[in-house]
Amino acid sequence: MESSKRRRTGNGGGRKGSGREFDMARYSQRHVALRVVYFGQGMHGFAAQEGIEHTVEGHLFRALLKTRLIVDRDSSEYARCGRTDKDVSALGNVISLRLRSHLREGVGFAEPDEGSAAASAEAGGGAAREELDYPRMLNAVLPPEVRVSGWCAVPVDFSARFSCRERQYRYFFDSSGLDVGRLREACRHLEGEHDFRNFCKMDVENVKSFTRTVLSFVVCEPPIPDGLHYFQIRGTAFLWHQVRCMVAILFMVGAGQEEPSLLPILLDLKATPKKPQYNMAPAAPLVLAATVFDGVSFALSAAQCTQLQTHLRERWAAEMTAAAMSQHAIDSLSGLASGAAKKPKHVPIQRRAIEPTFEERLAKTRAKAKEKETR
């Protein structure tokens, strides 16, 4: 197979107006991890989707191509740590891939390629040169909702997906009307290694085991604003919609509609062999807060750090203003309601309709595939 370092792209050459084709073979490349911050509300999730532009991954790859840091996705050895859903945000998602470099040796470089090394030296490359400021280059062309908050050179066998040893999520919520003590009692049942098939959306094509380990699941209270709490969930890996399903059940417990003892019942496949039907918690309050790797230390230039802090403070001020306006609107309704509001009737989880098991779903999927083959 032809080395990806020899690939070329003809989408406008090196210098603007030069008409010269960009040739990645003239440059060194190194394996790099990028930490990404994004606000997912209104976005169609992290993963790129055909025909949909407003995804985090889509924005990242358009920026990577525009800055000539890669030739294409296929040759970049790309991996992502977390594939968050529509409207979900992240403060510390991580991707890894091979990027154009100013250097020729060090962490992240494979066996030196004589052709690209010679070309780099001819162009003035050398150990004394500083590495490209990847966050600065990418943040200059990324939309306001997406920012690269750090980078780190990593070994060539590093994978943002498989090298991650811990993922941390936060789910923010208004605790009004919820018993936080009951929530804390229920959270403890979710810690440890369990089969979480009753707390996820089953992906029968890609997932064969639903056993996951939750390292800790606690209720926390941030300093501001009053009444706001969040669940802090640490785990090695999570299933599709697992966090939002766990939170949905916890909200029922906190509201007094279900008992904390429901959690171990749902985790016991003998007691609950089929998942009861219930709606997931909303996506917008969920944040992939951090991802943990061994030996990875992200760096950010002082100028980029200041610029990113300014950008985030402006966003914070705008959202706090919107929150204050909403609070004023709520206060203006005080004392206007007449009569008692009717609460929707709660159907106990254990009395609800049940969903097909994994085996039933898998059999249906295989039957459909077999039917297509015989057509």
Cα-based angle 93, 28, 106 (whole degrees, multiple of 5): 70
Q: Which two tokens stand for residue 78?
A: 């790309």
> What CA–CA distance (Å, rounded) separates 253 from 277?
16
Amino acid at 368: K
The one catalytic residue in 23, 72, 74, 85 is 85
φ and ψ of 46, to 5 deg: -80, -50
CB neighbour list of residue 159: distance below 8 Å, 6 or more residues apart: 79, 96
By residue count, the chain amounts to 375
In whole angstroms, how far apart are CA 356 and each of 13, 338, 366, 371? 55, 44, 15, 20
> What CA–CA distance (Å, rounded) separates 180 from 173?
11
331 labelled catalytic: no
By annotation, the residues acting in catalysis are 85
